[in-house]
Chains A and B, each alone.
With several copies, the nearest count.
Chain A
Amino acid sequence: MNDDLFTFLIAGKAGQGTKKAGIVAANFFARFKRNVFQMNDYPSLIRGGHNFSIVSTSTQKIYSHYMKADLAVLLDQRSIKIHQNHLTEHGLLVYDDAIKKQEHGIGIPITSLAKKYSTPDLIVGIAGIATLVAAIACDRSILDTIIQKEYQRNVQDNLGYAHEIYDQVFEKTPKKFILRNGTDTDPILTGAETIGLGVSAAGLDLFFAYPMTPSTPILHFLSLQGKKLGVRTIQPENEIAVANMAIGATFTGARSMVGTSGGGFCLMQEAFSLAGMAEAPVLFFLGQRPGPSTGVPTYTEQGELLHSLYPGQGEFPRIVASPGSIEEAFYLSAELLNLAWHFQTPVILLSEKHLTESSMNVNLQPDKISEVKPLQHNNGNYQRYRKTDSGISPLLFPPSKEMIKWTSYEHDENGYTTEEAEAITQMHIKRRTKQESLVQYLKENIKTVNEYGSGEPFLFTFGSTTMTVREAVLVSGLQCSVIQLIYLQPFPSWHLQKYSGHKAIIIEQNSTGQLEQLLREKCGIHPITSIRQFDGRPFDPELLAEKLKKVTA
C-alpha cells in the first residue's frame, strides 16, 4: 500500500464547480511534484443533483483514485449522506455549516459566506480549494496564486471568499496534513486530451463528431486546441453524416477520425461497412458508457467489447484496440490512425468514460510518434483496387489525370461495379489477404498485450479497468501479473495461448463477462474466478484488492 497516499474529495451540486475544484486540486498537488489521479462522478444534468470529484495523490506513480478520502469537502446535505463514510481513518470532513451539525468533521459557513459575492452558487467550489490549501498548511499566498490563475472571472470576489474560508479552516485544523514532495513533473491530462494529442501527432487532419458522452470531450478539446495541432473539427447533423463525411474526406487524402458512443456508433455501422468495402482509412473512437441504449450516459462500463468486434455487415479487415491507461491512449491512438492508413480499413479505438474524462500525470514523448505514409501509387495506369500480394492497393488522391474510383459496390480492380462470380471471389480474397497481412503485421511489429509484474495468478483485463487493476495490485501487495489486452481484434491469441492452464482471474466492467468469453473460447483460458462490476462506477482499488486477496488466499 502506498504510504503517502492522500485523497481529496469534493462533492456538491452540478454547477457548484466540484469538477473544476478537482482539477485545480490535482494541479495543486502537482506543485509538490506528486503524481495524481483525478476522477469525476456526475449524473446527466446541468445544475443540481450530485457531483463529486476525487483526486488521489502520491509520490509514487498512481493509476486510480481511491474512494476513501483524507480530506472531504461536502457542499450539501446529499453529499453528507453519500460520502460521510468515505473517509480514511484520520480523514477530515469539512462541510457547509448550513447543513445541520455533524458528529464528526467541522462545519464552515461555505454557502453563507458565498452570499456576499456576485455568483454565490458558482463560487462555492473555491471553498474546496481554500480548505485544501489550508489543511495542507500552505501559505495563503499560494492560494492567491492558484485563484488568480484558475478562477479569473471576478477574481477579487474569488480571492476575498477564498481568504475567508482559508482563515476559518486554518484556524480550526492547523497543519492537519503534510505532503511529501515527489519528483514527477509530468503534465496532468485527461484521456480525451492524450487521445487528441496522439492523433494529431500521427497526422490527423479532420475530426468529425456529433456530441455524445463520453466522446464529447475529445470534440471539445480539438475544437479549442485543434487548430494549433493541425486538426479541425466538424459537427454535422447526425452520426450518419459524421461517418460518411469522414470517409469522403479520406478520399482526398485527409486523415479523418470520428468520435462517438454506443447509439451513435450503431448509426455509423453502415458507413463502417462502406469503409471496409471502399478501403477507406477512418479511425472510429467508440467511448463506452453503461448500456444498453441510452443507458446511464455519464458513467462508465465495458459492455460493448463483443459488439465492437464485427460492426458493419460483411467481411473485411477489422482492427479494435483499447488503451489501458491515459498515457497509453496517446501512443495507441496514433498507432491506430497509422494502422488505418497502412491497411486502408476502418479501425476502432475502444475506450470508456473512465479514461476520457479522468486525468493523471502522463509522460508523453511526441517525437516517438511518426506519421506512417501509406502505400502510394507512383506511376503508370492507376487501379484503385489493384491486387497485390499483401492485399493492400496503392493510394492516389485527386486531382489526378488518372481515374480514382472508390465504391460501395463489389468491384473490379478499377473500381467499376461487378456482379461476376469470379470477380466477386477475387475481391473477397483480396480483402481476406489484407486481413492476413494485418495479423502478420501485428504479430511482428505491434505490442498487442501488456504484461505487468510476473508470475501467477494472471489478472486479465482491458481498457481503463487496467489502471484500477494495477493500482489494486499495488494496494494488495500481491505477487501476480496483470495481463492487459491492448488489441481485441484481431485477437492476439498467438500471444495469449501460453497462459492457458495457468491460474487466471478475469476482471472487467460488464455483467456477462465478455473478455472472459473471448479468453475462454479463443485461448482456452479458464479463470479460477472472475470479478465484474457493472454499476457504472469504476472499481475502487481497495475493494478490488480485498477481493483479489480473498480469491487468491
Chain B
Amino acid sequence: MDQDFTTPVENTWCPGCGNFGILNAFRKAIPKLEKQGINPKHLIISAGIGCHGKIFDYVPLSGMYSLHGRSIATVQGIKLGNPNLKVLTFAGDGDAFGEGISHMIFAAKRNADITVIVHNNGTYALTTGQFSPTSQKGFKGPSLPSGNIEEPLNPLSLMLEAGASFVARGYAGRIDHLANLMVEAVLHEGFSYIDVLQPSVVFTNTYKEFNASVEMIEKPAVRLEDAVQLAKRFDKIPIGVFYNVSKPIYHQELYGEWNPVVNRLSHAERIRSIALYLSDHLQE
C-alpha cells in the first residue's frame, strides 16, 4: 500500500469541499492506527452513496462500496463475518439519517463494534442539494424551493439516545483533531459515531460559521444527560469526544470468542453433526 494512501482514481469533489478535510484526516489516521497496532490490511472500509462516498475510491483500503444508506448494515455484516477485522464506514447525513436511519439506531442499540463517520453537510449533495434530515429549517433546495419546513435531527443526541457508546463531533476544517477522533473511534470497542461538520461549498458553505464557533471539548461527559446537553448546545459548536463508555459488544455477546471464518466447522465435522442429528431422529 502506498504510504500516502492515495489511489489512481481522479478526485471529483468540488474544489474547497469539506470532504477533502475528511479524506486528509483519514489518511493521517491510518498510520496512527498502525502505530496503535492496527494494520491497514485489517482496516476494512465502506461508504454510502453520495459525494461523501467517493472517499471509498480515494483510499487504497479493502472494503465494500455499499448502497445509499446501507453501509451501516454492510459493515456490521463484515464484522459478523470476521470479528478480527476493524470496520469503518463513511456515510452522508442523508445516508445515515435518511435512508439508513434504522441501521444507525440499531447499530448503536446493540453496540455493534463498528465506526461510522458521517460527512454531515446538511444536504443531499450528490443529487443536487435537496434538503436532508439534518438540513436547517428554511434551507432552500430544488425539491422545496420555498425552504425546508422541518426541524433538523440532532445526530449526536439521537445516537446517544439510541445507546451509542462512543459519540464525537469533528470538523472538516480541523484535520489533525479529526484524525485523532478517527483513531479514538476505531480503537473504541463498540459502536463509535463521529459527526463531521462538512461544508459543501456548493450547497451549504458553512466554513465561516464553523470557523467562528467550533470549540474543543476538554473531556467527554461522564453522565449521559450531560453528553446530551452538550450535543444540544448551539451558542458554540463543541467538537471532540462527547461520550465514551464501555458496554457489552454485540458480536461478543453473540459469539463469545468464536469467529465464523477463522473457527469454521470443517466439512467432516458438519457431516458428522448432521448424521448425529439424523440418528437422533431415526425411527426406533
Contact = CB atoms under 8 A, between A and B. Distances in A.
Interface of A: 15, 27, 30-31, 33, 43-49, 184-189, 197, 200-201, 203, 205-206, 208-213, 216, 219-220, 223-225, 228-230, 232-238, 240-241, 244-254, 256, 263, 270-271, 274, 278, 293-294, 297, 361, 364, 366-367, 369-371, 397-409, 415-417
A409 B13 CA distance: 17
B155 interface: no
B77 A229 contact: no
A293 B264 CA distance: 31
Contact of A252 (B15, B78, B127, B130): B78
Most chain A beta carbons < 10 A, residue from B9, B67, B69, B271: B67
B103 interface: yes
A366 B270 CA distance: 9
Given A248-B74, A271-B70, A223 B282 contact: no
Nearest to A221: B142
Nearest to A121: B15
Interface in B185-241: 202
Contacts of A244: 66-67, 70, 73-74, 77, 103
B74 A206 contact: no
A206 B267 contact: no
Interface in B232-284: 254-255, 260-261, 264-265, 267, 269-271, 273-284
B273 A200 contact: yes
B80 interface: yes
A87 B110 CA distance: 53
A253 B263 CA distance: 12
Contacts of A241: 73, 76, 102-103, 106
A237 B98 contact: yes
Contacts, number: 271
Nearest to A212: B127
A21 to B, nearest CB: 18
B41 interface: yes
B277 A206 contact: no
A407 B53 CA distance: 11
B283 A201 contact: no
Contact of B67 (A186, A232, A270, A417): A270
A403 B61 contact: yes
A240 B7 contact: no
B139 interface: no
Contacts of B261: 205, 252-254, 397
B61 A46 contact: no
Interface of B: 1, 7-9, 12-15, 39, 41-42, 44, 46, 49, 51, 54, 56-57, 60-70, 73-82, 84-85, 98-99, 101-103, 105-106, 124-128, 130-131, 133, 142-145, 202, 254-255, 260-261, 264-265, 267, 269-271, 273-284
A366 B63 CA distance: 35
Contacts of A46: 14, 51, 125-126, 128, 202
A80 to B, nearest CB: 17
Contacts of A252: 78, 81-82, 85, 260-261
A240 B70 contact: yes
A476 B248 CA distance: 62
Contacts of B51: 45-46
Contacts of B76: 236, 241, 245, 248
Given A219-B143, A228-B277, A235 B131 contact: yes
A408 B71 CA distance: 11
B73 A416 contact: no
A188 B124 CA distance: 29
23 contacts: A27-B283, A45-B126, A46-B128, A46-B202, A48-B12, A48-B13, A211-B143, A223-B142, A223-B144, A229-B265, A234-B254, A241-B102, A244-B73, A247-B64, A248-B78, A254-B81, A263-B67, A294-B65, A398-B42, A399-B42, A401-B41, A407-B56, A408-B49
Nearest to A415: B65
A479 to B, nearest CB: 32
Nearest to B268: A367
B44 A408 contact: no
B41 A206 contact: no
Contacts of B126: 44-46
A328 to B, nearest CB: 16
Contact of B82 (A213, A234, A254, A403): A254
Given A237-B133, A400-B62, A408-B65, A249 B78 contact: yes
Most central of B131, B270, B283 by chain A CB within 10 Å: B283
B202 to A, nearest CB: 5
Contacts of B70: 240, 244, 270-271, 274
B105 to A, nearest CB: 8
A404 B65 CA distance: 11
B81 A364 contact: no
A244 to B, nearest CB: 4
B74 A247 contact: yes
A212 B82 CA distance: 27
A48 B143 contact: no
A294 B47 CA distance: 12
A274 B77 CA distance: 14
Shortest 4 CB-CB distances between A and B: which pairs? A248-B77, A230-B265, A252-B81, A187-B281
A223 B267 contact: no
Given A205-B260, A229-B277, A238 B98 contact: yes
A236 B81 contact: no
Nearest to A29: B283
Contacts of A216: 127-128, 143
B270 A225 contact: no
Nearest to B61: A403
Contacts of A200: 270, 273-274
B270 A229 contact: yes
B75 A398 contact: no
A415 B46 CA distance: 13
